[in-house]
């Protein structure tokens, strides 16, 4: 059965081979997310920084997600996307709205980004690469 809101791709970046599952955020798809958690090293949440109306939904889903046992050792990257738009919330505003500072059991980082220009994407992925490589050498 195909899922039009699920994409898988593999790539190499920062001398690491990445297997990336892009899971749709629609409410109807969230129940299936846990199917893909086992073996995950990092969670990336991409936020539309202009969507103030859904920020509490994103917060609730993020905290539900990181409490799953299969994600105990993951790092969390939040891309604050669409920073090129005038009405975008800043990364600091999103940090506060999502209560990211209350996350104690996961390394996390928020990265201002713009998918259209690529701004912030390399920095965010570099952060994950550093954290995941650090965990691999520590174990």
82 carries a ligand binding annotation: yes
Report whether 81 belongs to an annotated binding site.
yes
Q: Phi/psi of residue 49, each to 5°?
A: -65, -10
Six token digits for residue 134: 């650090």
Q: What's the Rg (C-alpha) of the chain?
A: 15
Mean pLDDT of the chain: 82
Q: Is the pLDDT of residue 24 over 70?
A: no
Distance of CA 108 to the CA centre of its chain: 9
Q: Name the residues annotated as catalytic.
A: 26
* SS3 (DSSP) at 49: coil
Does 87 belong to an annotated binding site?
Answer: no
Residues 53, 138: Cα–Cα separation, whole Å: 40
Integer distance in angstroms from the first to the last C-alpha of the chain?
38
Tokens representing 1 are 């059965």
Lowest mean pLDDT among 21-25, 54-58, 84-88: 21-25
Q: Can you give the pLDDT at residue 3?
A: 44
46-65: pLDDT as tens digits: 899 999 999 999 999 899 88
Say whether 83 counts as a known binding-site residue. yes
Instruction: Delimit the domains of the chain by residue range.
Output: 9-20+42-138
Question: For a pLDDT cut of 90, what percent of the chain falls above it?
Answer: 48
Q: Looking at the domain that runs over 9-20+42-138, which CATH code has it been given? A: 3.40.50.300
């Amino acid at each position: 059965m195909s899922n039009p809101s699920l994409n898988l791709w593999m790539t190499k970046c920062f001398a690491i081979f990445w297997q990336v599952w892009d899971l749709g955020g629609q409410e109807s798809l969230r129940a299936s997310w846990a199917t893909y958690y086992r073996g995950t090293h990092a969670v990336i949440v991409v936020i539309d920084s202009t969507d103030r109306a859904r920020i509490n939904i994103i917060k609730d889903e993020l905290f539900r997600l990181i409490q799953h046992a299969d994600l105990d050792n993951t790092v969390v990257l939040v891309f604050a996307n669409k920073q090129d738009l005038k009405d975008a919330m800043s990364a600091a505003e999103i940090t506060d709205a999502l209560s990211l500072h209350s996350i104690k059991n996961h390394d996390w980082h928020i990265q201002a980004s713009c998918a259209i220009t690529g701004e912030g994407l390399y920095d965010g992925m570099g952060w994950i690469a550093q954290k995941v490589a650090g965990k691999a050498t520590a174990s």
